[in-house]
Structure 1
Amino acid sequence: MKQPFDIIGTNLDNLTSLWKTAGIPFNAYVETPAFNYCRIEDADWPNRLWFKEDVTPEALNAALEILPAGKMTIPYWDIYNSNADEYIAAKGGVKAFEQAGMSLKLDRPFTGARNLSYVQVTNDAQAEIWAMLYPQSFGYRISAGILKKLYNDVRFYLAYYQDQPIGTAILHCTNGIAGIHGVGVIPDMRKKGFANEIMEFVLNQSIDLNATYATLQASKMGAGIYLKMGFEDQFLIKNYTFLS
């Protein structure tokens, strides 16, 4: 079994790989010695700037000098025991939300309820439906235009209940790690067990793709579901927003 820090590293590698993968088709991904960022014009997501190591005043100042115009989020992985995110706050960063980094060893299939059906998004009509549903669950957009560039690199799923689209999921596999993102259910269909069912479907898809671990970054609302499924809560991500 891998050690916890290795799991944290693979979790973060998968997450940042997703942002990079989304940005490259739009020429929106930039690497520097201290940090990388992705900024897609007129988009809510991914639009992240992340540091390769713990934040230092020098690295932060360099980032702020070239920070792309518009809303950007700087995630801080709270894994260094340094409280260095205080530098971000001191420069005007506002902590917008927190996430729990979690992982699960994939050593068994999931055999829960089967009330939903699923479609992997592979055409533009499906992408439009997915993009319409997603902000109902999360409050921000991932545009259909982004999905249309990523059919071959990222798996986007639609969940249907009685032939009506009610939920979304994203699966991004890297080096045997299944990164699960964007699992959401529209408000009218919550508290019916559908989020848990979508998670089980995506985990089974991950097993079929020979992933050995699943990783995710959970909101406070979703963390309880994942803990009950056996995920381990391993680190905190503090997300800071800059308006420039």
Structure 2
Amino acid sequence: MNKAIIEHLFTFWSEIGRLGGFLYSEEGIRHTLAPEKSWPSKVFGLGPSRIDENQLLENIRVGAWPNSVGIYEDVESKNLLVNNGFKLSSTVKAMALKVSNGFDQIVDLGTIAPVKSDEEVQAFAKIASMAFGYPVLTKTLSPLLQASSFQLFLGIHEDDYASCGMVFTDQDGISGIHMIGTLPEFQGLGLGKKMTQYLVKNAKEKGSIYVYLVASQAGEGIYAKMGFKTYGVLESYQLPDGLEHQHSTGS
């Protein structure tokens, strides 16, 4: 299940990159290089047989590829990255919910609305950027509105846009929920939980049997209480700043 969840995430990144014109693939290794090094800029799809460490190092050092490499729980790939100076930068949990197992909590539909206008896209980008601490650009989100595989939503609290969330449904009809975030001043009010419930309800209505997500360690417990189960992790690795800007001839 872990591989299925992570591959779904890779497909999510790929589709965003394709729609935005910043998806690249070389010898089976995919990467997205969003404008201004914003979300989602990632190298992914690596495997031990695909990794040319010299090419990987050089492309990251010169800025041709983003300095963030996502891998499965793959010891061989991990060792190759670590042996070439990469450091673990983050670990997220791969989680899934079988929607037939209930999850019929009542959601106040009036507080969540689909993103349709330029103003709403800008609000989504602002909330996501502030909630996650990295830049999410309006120009990256806008093309998603034209794709049936994506649906973006905003949560409203006291007449203000306060939370965001997204559903991505792949070609196999499996949905993932992503970018569930709340503005700092509205955190602690249960808005993230309400958004999660709404997104799962949306995925269920699409006919998805499973709903996937990736969560931080802090978020894992919250989603577990909602019925999600953990099946593994996605690890991300980066070159430290000093190594990132060196050329291979000088290392």
Please state which band the TM-score falls in when normalised by the shorter chain: 0.7 to 0.9
Query: Which ranges in structure 1 are unaligned for 5 or more consecutive residues?
Result: 1-6
Pick from 160, 182, 200: which aligns with 1:203? Answer: 200
CA distance in 2, matches of 1:58, 1:12: 18
Pick from 67, 73, 83: which aligns with 1:72? Answer: 67
The AA in structure 1 aligned to 2:33 is R
CA distance in 1, matches of 2:83, 2:110: 47
The verdict on how the C-alpha distance between 1:176 and 1:221 changes in structure 2, with shifts beyond 3 A counting, is same
In the alignment, which residue of structure 2 is the partner of 1:4? none
The verdict on how the C-alpha distance between 1:115 and 1:172 changes in structure 2, with shifts beyond 3 A counting, is closer
Comparing both structures, which one devotes a greater share of its residues to strand? 1
In the alignment, which residue of structure 2 is the partner of 1:3? none
Q: How does 1:1-244 map to 2 (within 5 A)?
A: 7-53=1-47, 55=48, 58-67=51-60, 69=63, 71-78=66-73, 80=74, 82=75, 84-107=77-100, 108-112=102-106, 114=108, 117-153=111-147, 154-174=150-170, 175-242=172-239, 243-244=244-245
Question: Which piece of structure 1 moves more, 34-43 or 133-142?
Answer: 34-43
Q: CA deviation at 1:133?
A: 1.1
CA distance in 2, matches of 1:84, 1:43: 24
Matched position secondary structure for 2:105 = coil
The AA in structure 1 aligned to 2:70 is P
Q: TM-score, normalization: structure 1?
A: 0.88
Comparing both structures, which one devotes a greater share of its residues to helix? 2
CA distance in 1, matches of 2:7, 2:26: 16
The AA in structure 1 aligned to 2:158 is Q
The AA in structure 1 aligned to 2:231 is Q
Identity in percent: 18
Matched position secondary structure for 2:68 = strand
Matched position secondary structure for 1:46 = coil
Preserved contact between residue 35 and residue 63 of structure 1 (Cα < 8 Å) = no
Preserved contact between residue 75 and residue 239 of structure 1 (Cα < 8 Å) = yes
The AA in structure 2 aligned to 1:186 is L
CA distance in 1, matches of 2:7, 2:140: 21
Query: Which ranges in structure 2 are unaligned for 5 or more consecutive residues?
Result: 246-251
CA distance in 2, matches of 1:114, 1:58: 48
Q: CA deviation at 1:219?
A: 0.7
Matched position secondary structure for 1:126 = helix
Matched position secondary structure for 2:238 = strand
Preserved contact between residue 128 and residue 144 of structure 1 (Cα < 8 Å) = yes
Q: TM-score, normalization: structure 2?
A: 0.85
The AA in structure 2 aligned to 1:60 is E
The AA in structure 2 aligned to 1:11 is I
Q: CA deviation at 1:57?
A: 8.6
